[in-house]
Every structure is written in structure tokens, then in C-alpha cells.
């Protein structure tokens, strides 16, 4: 079977007709379906990118010494990691998620554990590798005798915004080490806690990062989705193995982007300001959803509100589209999301206010 035959229909193509409906609204569309940043790239990051534009040679796959130091400093500040942690820049986080099972050697006959409600690219990565996916939200849900090669956990969760406790992370860590699995924590929304304080899987390792990876992105924190700027930290041996594979296959972050990442990681002020924008938009959208008769579940962190009215998600999508508001059907994230929608906080303030007025109206 070819790779294309192993992949499902791209989910967002199914949403396109509802986008057309929303665009026909007299006041235009407010797209809250995809978490695409809309705010400007901070000037200090743009300056760093421009200053590194005249670099004709090949960049370092491992990242410049300055970038590796910045990654370790950031992981120490936000994840409690020590200087022994391995680090590696990636071409955004989605690329790593999609290729990690393959890069770790998973294939037919191997099992990869995914959250029950999850970012679809976890499943795509499993399909690309030829392994089999198993959904579970705790080690107790995994059949006895199963020995996964890789376990994905996601906190704060996309789509639900749920935050895993330190105890839950320790349970996953113990299970992974008992079974010999690699434990990969997708922590791209780690710094966007609202009603709960997210915890990194690196913080529960007690300095032993063996078999553990922590995945991060600058797309939302610094509005760098267009730069494709992500990174992974954790087990130095695993990171070295990933580096070797990536050197052979040309998975290299461009040099100007590496320079921009150094600037972004070293500045907390712009990140705090961006976080405040998202907080304010959340405070506008959440009551509007409640006024519409929705129930917002979890959503204690991250860039989304996970909402339901206990009806088929496509019915909600259609109703919202008739108001010019496009949201993502929960079904995209697993069958358990079939009666929810995911509402992104990534729209300009004026459009967020317009969406709220339409929903509450």
C-alpha cells in the first residue's frame, strides 16, 4: 500500500463548504476553526531574522551553539530541566509529530499509543510509519501485555485544553519505563495556562530524561507559525539519534530562522504580551458560547474552547456558519469528540468581538 493510500482524507477539506456559508454572512466570516496566529511577529524577532539573511552556507541541523543554549535556558525556565537535557530544533512541531514514529524506527507490528481526543497528526505519523495506533488516556486503559514503542501524551490538550496533573505524568513515565516505550509529551501550549498551571513531563523526571521527549513550538507563543520554528528536548541519547537521522534526510531549520528563535526564546516580554491578548479574547468568547446554550468543558489552558450542546458537532458547525462564525468539528480529533466543537482564540480582537456578538445575539 502506498503512503497516500494509508492517509485519510485531509479533514479540513470537509469543513470547506461551511466556510463558504460563513463567508456569505453580511458581516463576513470570523474564522475560529484553525489556530493560526494573526498578530504581528515581534520586531526583535524580525530584526534577528533579517540580520541572519546573508548566510550562504548550510545551517547546522543540531542548531547553532547560541540556539542550543537558548533552548536549554528556556527548558530550564519553563520545564525545570537541567543542563544535561538534550535539545534539537525542528521545522515546526507538526513535522516532528508526523515523523517521530518513523524516525524512532517504529513500523509494522509496533504499537503507538495516542490520546483518545487528539491532534490528528499523531495518527498520521503512525500511518506513515506503518505501525498501529492504540488510543488510551491512562496506562490502565492499555491491554495487559502490550509493549508500545511510543506513547504520545498532550498537555495542555489540543483540542480540549485539559491539563494533566504531575501525578498523571508520573504514571505515564512509570508505565513507559516499565514497558520500554518512548514517552513523548506534546507541550506546545505549556505557557498558556488559564485556570490551571500546566506541568512539563521533564519536570517529573527527577533529572533522568531517559526515554522521554518534550515537544515545543514558537508558533503561538511568538507568532512564528510562518517561520516553522519548533524544538524537542529530553533524553540526550534519543535526541542524538534523531539528529543523526535528520542530518541524513535534510530536516534542517534554516539559519535565519535559527537566529530568530534565539531572539524569541530569550525574550519573555513579548510572550507575556501575546498571552494577555489570548486571555482577553478567551474572556470575550467564553461567555458568548455560554449565552448560546453551549457548555465549555476543560479548556483550562491552551488556545481553544472545547464546547458542546450535546448535539452532533456538524449541526453546531452549520448553525455557527450561518452566523458567519467558522469553528472546528470535534469529530476531527476523534470519535469521542463527535458532539463538541473547538473554538480557537486566534482571531483579531475586532473579529472576536463580532463573533461574540453574533453568538450571544
CATH number where 99 lies: 3.40.640.10
| Average pLDDT of the chain to the nearest whole number | 96
Q: Which of 249, 266, 283 is the last residue of a domain?
A: 266
- Mean pLDDT, rounded, for 124-147: 97
Residues 142 and 185 placed together within one structural domain of the fold? yes
Residues 111 and 172 placed together within one structural domain of the fold? yes
Handedness of CA 18, 22, 24, 25 (dihedral sign): positive
Take residue 293 and report the three cell numbers written for it. 446554550
Residues 327 and 189 placed together within one structural domain of the fold? no
Question: How many residues are recorded in the chain?
Answer: 361
Residues 257 and 291 placed together within one structural domain of the fold? no
- Mean pLDDT, rounded, for 13-36: 95
Residues 111 and 62 placed together within one structural domain of the fold? yes
Grade residue 144 by pLDDT with cuts at 50, 70 and 90. Answer: very high
| Per-residue confidence (pLDDT) for residue 9, from 0 to 100 | 76
Grade residue 1 by pLDDT with cuts at 50, 70 and 90. Answer: low
CATH number of the domain enclosing 36: 3.90.1150.10
- 202: cis peptide before it, omega within 30°? no
User: Distance (Å, rounded) from C-alpha 293 to C-alpha 305?
Assistant: 14
Residue 219 CB contacts under 8 Å (≥ 6 apart), including other chains: 37, 92, 93, 188, 225, 229, 230
Total tally of structural domains belonging to the chain:
2
| Per-residue confidence (pLDDT) for residue 308, from 0 to 100 | 98
Residues 145 and 241 placed together within one structural domain of the fold? yes
Residues 214 and 310 placed together within one structural domain of the fold? no
pLDDT above 70 covers a percentage of the chain that reads 99
Residue 361, pLDDT > 90, answer: no
Read off the DSSP letter of residue 214: E
Domain that includes residue 319, residue range? 3-41+269-360
Residues 147 and 257 placed together within one structural domain of the fold? yes
| Per-residue confidence (pLDDT) for residue 12, from 0 to 100 | 81
Q: Beta strands 325-326 and 328-329: pairing type?
A: unpaired
Residue 104, pLDDT > 80, answer: yes
Residues 184 and 196 placed together within one structural domain of the fold? yes
Residues 72 and 93 placed together within one structural domain of the fold? yes
Q: Which of 242, 266, 290 is the last residue of a domain?
A: 266
Grade residue 61 by pLDDT with cuts at 50, 70 and 90. Answer: very high
Residues 91 and 29 placed together within one structural domain of the fold? no
| Per-residue confidence (pLDDT) for residue 339, from 0 to 100 | 98
Q: Is 111 helix (H, G, I), strand (E, B) or coil?
A: strand
Residues 16 and 61 placed together within one structural domain of the fold? no
Residue 187, pLDDT > 90, answer: yes
Residue 322, pLDDT > 80, answer: yes
Residue 335, pLDDT > 90, answer: yes
Q: Which of 266, 293, 323 is the last residue of a domain?
A: 266
Q: What is the CA radius of gyration of the chain?
A: 20
Residue 7, pLDDT > 90, answer: no
Residue 249, pLDDT > 70, answer: yes
Amino acid at each position: 500500500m502506498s503512503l497516500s493510500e494509508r492517509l485519510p482524507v485531509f479533514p479540513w477539506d470537509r469543513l470547506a463548504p461551511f466556510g463558504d456559508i460563513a463567508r456569505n454572512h453580511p458581516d463576513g466570516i470570523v474564522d475560529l476553526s484553525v489556530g493560526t496566529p494573526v498578530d504581528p511577529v515581534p520586531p526583535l524577532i524580525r530584526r534577528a531574522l533579517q540580520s541572519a539573511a546573508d548566510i550562504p552556507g548550510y545551517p547546522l541541523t543540531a542548531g547553532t551553539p547560541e540556539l542550543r543554549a537558548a533552548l536549554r535556558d528556556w527548558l530550564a525556565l519553563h520545564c525545570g530541566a537541567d543542563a544535561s537535557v538534550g535539545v534539537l530544533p525542528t521545522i515546526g512541531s507538526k513535522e516532528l509529530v508526523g515523523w517521530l514514529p518513523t524516525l524512532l524506527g517504529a513500523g509494522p507490528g509496533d504499537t503507538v499509543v495516542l490520546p483518545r481526543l487528539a491532534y490528528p497528526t499523531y495518527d498520521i505519523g503512525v500511518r506513515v510509519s506503518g505501525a498501529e495506533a492504540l488510543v488510551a488516556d491512562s496506562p490502565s486503559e492499555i491491554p495487559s501485555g502490550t509493549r508500545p514503542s511510543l506513547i504520545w501524551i498532550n498537555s495542555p490538550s489540543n483540542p480540549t485544553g485539559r491539563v494533566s496533573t504531575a501525578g498523571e505524568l508520573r504514571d505515564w513515565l512509570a508505565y513507559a519505563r516499565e514497558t520500554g516505550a518512548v514517552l513523548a509529551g506534546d507541550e506546545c501550549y505549556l505557557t498558556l495556562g488559564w485556570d490551571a498551571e500546566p506541568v512539563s513531563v521533564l519536570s517529573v523526571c527527577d533529572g533522568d530524561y531517559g526515554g522521554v521527549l518534550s515537544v515545543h513550538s514558537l508558533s503561538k507563543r511568538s507568532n512564528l507559525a510562518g517561520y516553522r520554528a519548533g524544538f524537542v528536548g529530553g533524553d540526550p541519547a534519543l535526541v542524538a539519534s534523531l539528529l543523526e537521522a535528520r542530518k541524513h534526510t535534510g530536516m534542517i531549520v534554516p539559519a535565519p530562522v535559527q537566529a530568530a528563535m534565539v531572539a524569541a526564546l530569550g525574550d519573555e516580554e513579548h510572550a507575556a504580551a501575546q498571552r494577555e491578548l489570548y486571555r482577553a479574547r478567551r474572556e470575550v468568547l467564553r461567555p458568548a458560547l455560554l449565552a448560546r446554550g453551549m457548555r465549555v468543558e476543560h479548556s483550562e489552558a491552551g488556545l481553544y474552547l472545547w464546547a458542546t450542546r450535546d448535539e452532533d458537532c456538524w449541526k453546531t458547525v452549520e448553525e455557527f456558519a450561518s452566523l458567519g462564525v467558522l469553528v472546528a468539528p470535534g469529530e476531527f480529533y476523534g470519535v469521542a469528540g463527535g458532539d463538541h466543537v473547538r473554538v480557537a482564540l486566534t482571531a483579531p480582537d475586532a473579529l472576536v468581538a463580532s463573533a461574540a456578538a453574533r453568538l450571544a445575539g
